[in-house]
Structure 1
């Protein structure tokens, strides 16, 4: 279930967030993600914020589908970047095999831990065979709120690797680092690039039990 307090904070801070993370060129991680996609690929930007990544994807010839739970973020993506951004949460259904790529950059860290495997399963289903998933998360343990009230769930890289593999993804690249976010704290993060390769392990077990 979407955290209403987190959405409220992003509505209030939408303009500040857009200014803080705006850049004229795609980041290195976004360039790496795009290099794995076929020309003209359809890409789900899940938690698009003000639409920066989607605008770079569009400029590179891809077909972004920007989705965010914050009405103010969606409005910025539409009005300032001319994107077809739409309102949605992680709980909304996704069309099966609709995308060649998913960009989930520091968005799923706001989901509750118990919901995370289900979200990965939905992303697996919405990707076409060999589809590419970029996942950006903050590293750590437990869950907490920042000074603004945003809810975070933290994972170590090893746990994320296990979860992705169980969901049917092959890890292609891992990058760890530290960076200051909107709240001003310098936090450790991990960026993980993976490819859809198989039926998730959990479903293989279900099939074998029938």
Structure 2
């Protein structure tokens, strides 16, 4: 897979991507995530895009670290959320037991299956005991390039199989939603909350 090509896409289209995603209402998904966090939780917004979710978590009093692979998005997200955003690839996550929650909304879906397995292992390692991960994938069985970016889609079965290979976490909740962006309601998403074991 071509990580560089996907990152290049986001660098070139950063402003349009931010404009298309910044006002999407994820309040019901936020509620699922934060209801499982301790009060003074530290969260990693992993692939933070526009900074929309970072800004929300900060407004709720959480400590938030934000990271993205696109330098352009790091700059825009940092301006919007008001904190520095770390420029890094998913594969570069090396924290150990640092976070109560990792929020990976529509982000790690740009990894190949082999890379996704490695990154999930790193994410679980970065969680404190019984920490949680929220992540989401387009619903389906496609893997490859689409609209200038690499995607891996997931179903309940394919994700469960992947997580069995990874180990160290269980699926605590999963549900399917329609795309929240205007005119995209026919697109389905698989939402998952994982709990470190």
**TM, length-normalised to structure 2:** 0.90
How big is the shift at 1:28? 1.1
The residue that corresponds to 2:113 in the other structure is 113
Unaligned runs of 5+ in 1: 198-210
The residue that corresponds to 2:159 in the other structure is 160
Find the aligned partners of 2:141 and 2:90 in 1 and give their Cα distance. 21
The residue that corresponds to 2:192 in the other structure is 192
User: Structure 1 residues 9, 54: CA separation in 2 closer, same or farther (over 3 Å shift)?
Assistant: same
Find the aligned partners of 1:151 and 1:106 in 2 and give their Cα distance. 12
- Deviation per CA, 1:33-57: give whole Å up to 9, x if none: 0111111211111100111111101
How big is the shift at 1:177? 2.6
- Deviation per CA, 1:146-169: give whole Å up to 9, x if none: 23x011112211121232344221
Rg larger in 1 or in 2?
Answer: 1
**TM, length-normalised to structure 1:** 0.85
Q: Secondary structure at the match of 2:195?
A: strand
- Deviation per CA, 1:79-102: give whole Å up to 9, x if none: 222122110001103211010100
Root-mean-square deviation over aligned CA pairs: 2.2
The residue that corresponds to 2:51 in the other structure is 51
The residue that corresponds to 2:78 in the other structure is 78
How big is the shift at 1:23? 2.7
Find the aligned partners of 2:6 and 2:182 in 1 and give their Cα distance. 13
The residue that corresponds to 2:66 in the other structure is 66
The residue that corresponds to 1:3 in the other structure is 3
